Structure 1
Amino acid sequence: MNIKMILMSSAAALAAISSAQAADAIVAAEPEPVEYVRVCDAYGSGYFYIPGTETCLKISGYIRFQVNVSPNAGGASDWDAVTRGQLQFTAKSDTEYGPLTGVIVLQTNADNASSQVAKLDSAYIDIAGIRAGLFYSWWDDGLSGETDDIGSKVTLHNSIRYQYEADNFYAGISVDELEDGYYSAGEQPNNVGVAIGIGGKAGVFSYQVTAGYDTDNEEGAVRAMGTVAIGPGTLGLAGVYSSGPNSYYQAAEWAVAAEYAIKATDKLKITPAAQYYGNYGIVAGDFNDNNDAWKVGLTVDYQIVDNFYAKATVNYLDPDQGNDVTSGFFRLQRAF
């Protein structure tokens, strides 16, 4: 056999082997397309669809640094620096009853590196005006400054409520568990409360009326607030009355507060305010008769850049029976 025949035979053998291998070749599967995050604009800015679902999710929160100043603010010291981080997850989806909303708020407060408190700040379900879970009551609301004291000491409750809402009006009723609210000596913290809230806007005027009845203490409170745009700012007025110490209001038998929030520039707001208390404080389970008190303060808010704010406040409290107290804080907060 000559060289030419050997080469031709070898070529034929290689071709046969290649054909056999080609017949048995493994073809790689095409990768499945990736579902990228889609913007959900049905509920406002910041929402996106959770991949593979029709549920829209928004992640927001803030980082806060604050220095508090008051007698014994930090134990033996008259000042104390604290830091807070908060995350809020809001999920929404359409249903035949309207949007189904779920909210979870996680918060961590750090007095220092070795002393930190993490908590569930809110968690609730909301649909068709019904809200159930852990959330802040209407008694958490107040005027825009940091001087007024017209709300509950504790405003975060496990509650169920119904709230009707129109364009410029709302009205609702809630049943609140008041386990960590006010209770008389010898009683157990097992209170239940019923609260109502009514509010709305009419042109430049806004208003809110809130009432609550503490079934365990058998006492109640009612509060009215209103604001109106006047000149370069907004005038705010509020009044509250409590039939006796209870979880909804216990600072005094009655109080009135006023402030004027001046819009000095697009970024600067200056708010002087004052409050007067009648029968201030609690003695032997009842309000302290003939112990009135007054309070004055100033709050300054400044927007440094978008989503970055500074706030400073100073307040002076002078009760008839007791020592006067000066307190305040300075805060930096970055929201997202």
Structure 2
Amino acid sequence: MNIKMILMSSAAALAAISSAQAADAVVAAEPEPVEYVRVCDAYGSGYFYIPGTETCLKISGYIRFQVNAGPNASATTGNGTTVANDSDWDAYTRGQVQFTAKSDTEYGPLTGVIVLQTNADNAKSQAALLDSAYIDIAGFRAGLFYSWWDDGLSGETDDIGSKVTLHNSIRYQYEAKDFYAGISVDELEDSPFYDGEVPNNVGVAIGIGGKAGIFSYQVTAGYDTDNEAGAVRAMGTVAVGPGTLGLAAVWASDPGAYYSASEWAIAAEYAIKATDKLKITPAAQWYGHYGINNPTTNAEFKNEDAWKIGVTVDYQIVDNLYAKATVNYLDGDNIDDVTTGFFRLQRAF
């Protein structure tokens, strides 16, 4: 056999082997196309489409470090709960994350909100809680959320709201451009004056508010069925000079879930916009029939008065980083005068 025949035979053998291997080869599937996150600008900044859906999601929250000062200072753990402390100062840290989901429907935007919060009085004493969780569509809201009684003036001196403002509730709120009005039915089992006589204590609250030029206003009312206690509050602000003047008045028939500090109170503040980053808010409040007799049974207001003054300073250090400091002095009939305050750092995102 000559060299030419040997080369031809070798080439034929190699071709046969290659054909056999090609027949047995595994062909890799084409990779699925990657769907990148798309910005959703239909509901404001910060929303993005959840991949594969038409639902828009926004993730926000804050990290807070705060030092409280005052006799037996305590750290708030959320929803009105405090951690007792025998010291005149106490530090705590809070982390909060909010998930807001929105999508279009024939009834308007369908909204779902979940707010998760963890408070740490120290490394061994921590409390995680569901701060809010509700469904909102066409003005109707159902779930765990804060009532209108959680609102207040911008400083940290006024005491014109509920001690507990987070409830399982059903609410309807009508909203126009500069006006809203609503009514809610609230479960009040966590009220500080719930005596258990009425199973699943229920309250009814209304809220009306809006803006008219340089004025803003809100009127809130509530009735606690278990304690047969009603409360009404009016609050408003108006731009005056370099700041905003805020006024509020509240009245309660008896101590109840919606108001329990006093039978009536008036509060005033002036929020001075000193610079683009600095706001200074001096404030004062007067209480009529301050305090409660028999706080556990047949609660009623004392026939004593009290007053309170304070100042709050807010400063924006950089974008999304804020500092707040406040000091308040309380005095009145047959009570020891007391000075309290706090310093706070908060990073929002």
Which 4+ residue blocks in structure 1 deviate beyond 6 angstroms? none
- Comparing 16-25 with 262-271, which one deviates more in the overlay? 16-25
Query: In the alignment, what sits opposite 1:286?
Result: 300
Closer/same/farther in 2, CA of residues 268 and 189 from structure 1, 3 Å limit? farther
Query: In the alignment, what sits opposite 1:329?
Result: 342
State TM-score, norm by structure 2. 0.94
Q: Once the 2 structures are TM-superposed, how far is the Cα of residue 186 of structure 1 from its aligned partner? A: 7.4
Aligned residues between the structures: 335
Query: In the alignment, what sits opposite 2:72?
Result: 72
Aligned sequence identity (%): 85
State TM-score, norm by structure 1. 0.97
Query: In the alignment, what sits opposite 1:299?
Result: 312
Any conservation in 1 of the 2:194–2:201 contact (CA below 8 Å)?
no
Q: Which one of the candidate residues 83, 90, 93 is aligned to 2:93?
A: 83
Query: In the alignment, what sits opposite 1:212?
Result: 222
Residue 336 of structure 2 aligns to a residue whose secondary structure is coil
Q: Once the 2 structures are TM-superposed, how far is the Cα of residue 293 of structure 1 from its aligned partner? A: 0.1
Alpha-carbon distance between aligned partners in 1 of 2:60 and 2:193, rounded to the nearest angstrom: 36
Residue 249 of structure 2 aligns with an amino acid whose one-letter code is G
Residue by residue, what CA displacement relative to the aligned partner does 1:206-234 show, whole Å, maximum 9, x if unpaired? 00000000111111000000000000000
Alpha-carbon distance between aligned partners in 2 of 1:119 and 1:20, rounded to the nearest angstrom: 65
Matched, 1:320 2:330: no
Correspondence 1:96-107 to 2 at 5 A: 96-107=106-117
Residue by residue, what CA displacement relative to the aligned partner does 1:262-302 show, whole Å, maximum 9, x if unpaired? 0000000000000000000001311001x100000000000
Q: Which one of the candidate residues 125, 137, 141 is aligned to 1:127?
A: 137
Q: Which one of the candidate residues 230, 233, 240 is aligned to 2:250?
A: 240
Residue 5 of structure 2 aligns with an amino acid whose one-letter code is M
Any conservation in 1 of the 2:132–2:145 contact (CA below 8 Å)?
yes
Query: In the alignment, what sits opposite 2:120?
Result: 110
Q: Once the 2 structures are TM-superposed, how far is the Cα of residue 3 of structure 1 from its aligned partner? A: 3.2
Correspondence 1:118-267 to 2 at 5 A: 118-183=128-193, 187=197, 190-267=200-277
Residue by residue, what CA displacement relative to the aligned partner does 1:57-100 show, whole Å, maximum 9, x if unpaired? 00000000000001011522100000000000000000000000
Any conservation in 1 of the 2:218–2:236 contact (CA below 8 Å)?
yes
Residue 298 of structure 1 aligns with an amino acid whose one-letter code is V
Alpha-carbon distance between aligned partners in 2 of 1:186 and 1:11, rounded to the nearest angstrom: 97
Query: In the alignment, what sits opposite 1:14?
Result: 14
Residue by residue, what CA displacement relative to the aligned partner does 1:98-146 show, whole Å, maximum 9, x if unpaired? 0000000000000000000000000000000000000000000000000
Any conservation in 2 of the 1:105–1:122 contact (CA below 8 Å)?
yes
Closer/same/farther in 2, CA of residues 102 and 65 from structure 1, 3 Å limit? same
Alpha-carbon distance between aligned partners in 1 of 2:251 and 2:123, rounded to the nearest angstrom: 42
Alpha-carbon distance between aligned partners in 1 of 2:199 and 2:237, rounded to the nearest angstrom: 35
Q: Once the 2 structures are TM-superposed, how far is the Cα of residue 187 of structure 1 from its aligned partner? A: 4.2
Alpha-carbon distance between aligned partners in 2 of 1:162 and 1:307, rounded to the nearest angstrom: 33
Alpha-carbon distance between aligned partners in 1 of 2:40 and 2:3, rounded to the nearest angstrom: 75
Residue 67 of structure 1 aligns with an amino acid whose one-letter code is V
What are the ranges of 5 or more consecutive residues in structure 2 without an aligned counterpart? Answer: 75-84
RMSD: 1.3
Residue 70 of structure 2 aligns to a residue whose secondary structure is strand
Correspondence 1:53-64 to 2 at 5 A: 53-64=53-64
Matched, 1:274 2:287: no
Alpha-carbon distance between aligned partners in 1 of 2:196 and 2:2, rounded to the nearest angstrom: 117
Any conservation in 2 of the 1:178–1:189 contact (CA below 8 Å)?
no
Any conservation in 2 of the 1:180–1:189 contact (CA below 8 Å)?
no
Alpha-carbon distance between aligned partners in 1 of 2:165 and 2:202, rounded to the nearest angstrom: 13
- Comparing 243-252 with 5-14, which one deviates more in the overlay? 5-14
Residue by residue, what CA displacement relative to the aligned partner does 1:153-192 show, whole Å, maximum 9, x if unpaired? 0000000000000000000000000001132667467421
Q: Which one of the candidate residues 307, 310, 314 is aligned to 2:323?
A: 310
Alpha-carbon distance between aligned partners in 1 of 2:73 and 2:23, rounded to the nearest angstrom: 82
Residue 66 of structure 1 aligns to a residue whose secondary structure is strand
Alpha-carbon distance between aligned partners in 2 of 1:188 and 1:111, rounded to the nearest angstrom: 35
- Comparing 66-75 with 80-89, which one deviates more in the overlay? 66-75
Closer/same/farther in 2, CA of residues 5 and 269 from structure 1, 3 Å limit? same
Any conservation in 2 of the 1:174–1:194 contact (CA below 8 Å)?
yes
Q: Once the 2 structures are TM-superposed, how far is the Cα of residue 10 of structure 1 from its aligned partner? A: 1.4
